[in-house]
């Protein structure tokens, strides 16, 4: 089979090489003239999509299908954005659960970016530091509880997780890392290997040393009938996994403190506390991936703060750190971990680490967050979101259930009274879910659908009226979906 595939591929490559030949002479003046005109032109939707198909590639979906379905965003305004034809959408997923401050960039963030660009636009991170790096690091040390006082800046969530893996391995001198099946940690090789969900499969065999374990909430069975039982059994199972792998061979346990795309799952009572205890007993580092939870999404500043007294050894973050206005991630660690790196290098780095303009955006965005009580807004709207979700459940037979905390919510759908999903675990698409997505777009709501569920994760700056407006659209779309319900 494999040799046949290779043979077919080489025939294909030969035919491409045979039929096309290119000159490598390029007339840059002509290109400049052409693009001076293009730059002035307002592209139509069709022209945008044509260029996207001809000159770009998509990530998780085949490019052609993804390009055909893509919305062409022209401008953002608060919790809304507009497409190129002027159609308005309410953003019910903050794009990738990241546009947490909405689509209107606060003036102070624009000013901070502008000032930084005009003063020091770039600094080599290995040898040069900037005042904004000092200020942001002091602010983060104040925002984080406990002794999480030291920060390393990256360009996003995956890179932060790569760095945390490296730090944990160097600090402990151990290689293995435990991560959960119901998780997503990013798309670079190490982060993809950490990831437990099927997005990992295309990157396998991946990096070495990661062992996956099951969550307190597996898809197809329960560890127990109440939170106490679930916590007890899943921690017993984790302890047993650790003993099979060798506690002194394991550098870290990575967890999303509240599971994000794999189902908005708050850990059962005592679970994170239990993991902290296991880590303390075994010298394994506890690493919390706060890339999606961090900075208020769950109703606490960080997801791990939903559990009593738990301070992880290392924390990774991105997205909400600056409302995703520029690419930025970070790793935070406690004093005992940082002490090691005072005398030893992390040995990882990139040109864009600690980019002063991204740091300036975060410093201003976090001050805006604090000044405007964004966390208070999330806490105030948490019960309102729950009430809307409950109403959807009571009104629509296709709504099997929902989960939410803070402004982090998901609705699970069912196709019949047996509770069967429209799309099973990583299952084939179902036309009803495709129709639901089309209805949402038609009615002016953007969100993410995954298998048999969709998310309700608006910007954290949303108000009650806007939240209601989004749910009215969802109600309408679900009334259509209900026609697919088989009693």
Ligand X SMILES: Cc1ncc(COP(=O)(O)O)c(C=O)c1O
CA–centroid distance for 30 within its chain:
41
Residue 185 CB, nearest approach to ligand X (Å): 5
**Could you count the other beta carbons within 10 Å of the beta carbon of residue 214?**
17
Which is nearer to ligand X, 270 or 329 (by Cβ)? 329
Contacts to ligand X from residues 249-288, by CB under 6 A:
256, 260-261
Please check whether residue 223 is in contact with residue 229, taking contact to mean a CB–CB distance below 8 angstroms: yes
Name the phi and psi angles at 427, rounded to 5. -75, 175
Among 92, 151, 152, 184, binds ligand X (CB under 6 A): 184
How far is it, in rounded angstroms, from Cα 252 to Cα 170? 11
How far is it, in rounded angstroms, from Cα 266 to Cα 5? 44
Residue 154 CB, nearest approach to ligand X (Å): 9
Residue 420 CB, nearest approach to ligand X (Å): 28
List Cα–Cα distances, 297 to 117, 141, 311, 409, in angstroms.
29, 19, 18, 10
Residue 98 CB, nearest approach to ligand X (Å): 8
Site string for ligand X, 305-324 (x = CB under 6 A): -------------x------
Burial class (CB in 10 A: 0-12, 13-18, 19+), 278: middle
Residue 259 CB, nearest approach to ligand X (Å): 8
Which is nearer to ligand X, 162 or 313 (by Cβ)? 162
| Residue 96 in contact with ligand X, rule: CB under 6 A | yes
Among 106, 125, 186, 470, binds ligand X (CB under 6 A): 186
Contacts to ligand X from residues 132-161, by CB under 6 A:
156-158, 161
Please check whether residue 384 is in contact with residue 409, taking contact to mean a CB–CB distance below 8 angstroms: no
User: Residue 301 is encoded by which pair of tokens?
Assistant: 């500043």
Q: Can you give the length of the chain in residues? A: 487
Q: Indicate the residue whose CB is closest to ligand X.
A: 157
Residue 186 CB, nearest approach to ligand X (Å): 3
Interface size with ligand X, residues (CB under 6 A): 16
Among 289, 313, 382, 439, binds ligand X (CB under 6 A): 289
Which helix (H) or strand (E) element contains residue 471? Answer: helix 464-481
Among 90, 113, 291, 330, binds ligand X (CB under 6 A): 291
How far is it, in rounded angstroms, from Cα 405 to Cα 387? 12
Q: Which residue do the tokens 């749910």 mark?
A: 471
Among 185, 355, 388, 396, binds ligand X (CB under 6 A): 185
How far is it, in rounded angstroms, from Cα 22 to Cα 179? 47
Residue ranges that bind ligand X, judged by CB under 6 A: 96, 156-158, 161, 184-186, 256, 260-261, 289, 291-292, 318, 329
């Amino acid at each position: 089979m494999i040799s046949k595939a290779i043979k077919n591929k080489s025939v294909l490559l030969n035919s491409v090489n045979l039929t096309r030949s290119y000159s490598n002479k390029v007339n840059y003046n002509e290109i400049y003239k052409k693009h001076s005109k293009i730059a002035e032109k307002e592209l139509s939707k069709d022209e945008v999509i044509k260029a996207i198909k001809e000159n770009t590639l998509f990530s998780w979906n085949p490019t052609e299908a993804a390009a055909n379905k893509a919305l062409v965003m022209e401008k953002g305004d608060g919790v809304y954005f507009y497409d190129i034809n002027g159609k308005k959408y309410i953003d019910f997923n903050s794009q990738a659960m990241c546009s947490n401050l909405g689509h209107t960039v606060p003036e102070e963030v624009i000013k901070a970016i502008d000032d930084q660009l005009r003063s020091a636009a770039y600094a080599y991170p290995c040898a040069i530091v900037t005042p904004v790096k000092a200020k942001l690091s002091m602010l983060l040390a104040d925002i984080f509880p406990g002794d999480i006082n030291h920060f390393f800046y990256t360009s996003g969530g995956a890179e932060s997780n790569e760095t945390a893996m490296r730090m944990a391995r160097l600090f402990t001198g151990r290689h293995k890392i435990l991560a959960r099946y119901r998780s997503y940690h990013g798309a670079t090789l190490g982060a993809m290997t950490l990831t437990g969900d099927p997005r990992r499969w295309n990157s396998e065999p991946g990096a070495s040393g990661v062992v996956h374990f099951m969550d307190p909430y597996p898809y197809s069975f329960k560890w127990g009938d109440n939170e106490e039982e679930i916590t007890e059994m899943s921690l017993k199972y984790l302890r047993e996994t650790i003993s099979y792998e060798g506690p002194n061979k394991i550098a870290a346990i990575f967890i999303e403190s509240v599971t994000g795309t794999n189902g908005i799952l708050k850990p059962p009572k005592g679970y994170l506390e239990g993991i902290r205890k296991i880590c303390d007993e075994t010298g394994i580092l506890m690493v919390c991936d706060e890339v999606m939870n961090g900075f208020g999404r769950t109703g606490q500043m960080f997801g791990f703060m939903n559990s009593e007294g738990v301070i992880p050894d290392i924390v990774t973050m991105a997205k909400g750190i600056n409302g995703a206005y520029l690419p930025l991630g970070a790793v935070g660690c406690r004093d005992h971990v940082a002490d090691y790196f005072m005398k030893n290098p992390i040995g990882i780095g990139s040109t864009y680490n600690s980019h002063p303009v991204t740091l300036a955006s975060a410093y201003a965005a976090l001050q805006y967050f604090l000044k405007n009580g964004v966390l208070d807004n999330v806490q105030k709207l948490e019960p309102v979101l729950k009430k809307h979700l409950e109403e959807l459940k009571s009104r629509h037979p296709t709504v099997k259930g929902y989960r939410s905390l803070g402004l982090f919510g998901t609705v699970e759908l069912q196709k019949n009274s047996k509770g069967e999903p429209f799309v099973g675990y990583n299952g084939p698409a179902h036309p009803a879910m495709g129709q639901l997505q089309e209805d949402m777009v038609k009615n002016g709501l953007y969100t993410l659908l995954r298998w048999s569920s969709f998310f309700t994760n608006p910007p954290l700056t949303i108000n009650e009226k806007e939240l209601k407006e989004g749910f009215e659209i969802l109600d309408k779309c679900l009334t259509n979906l209900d026609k697919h319900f088989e009693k």
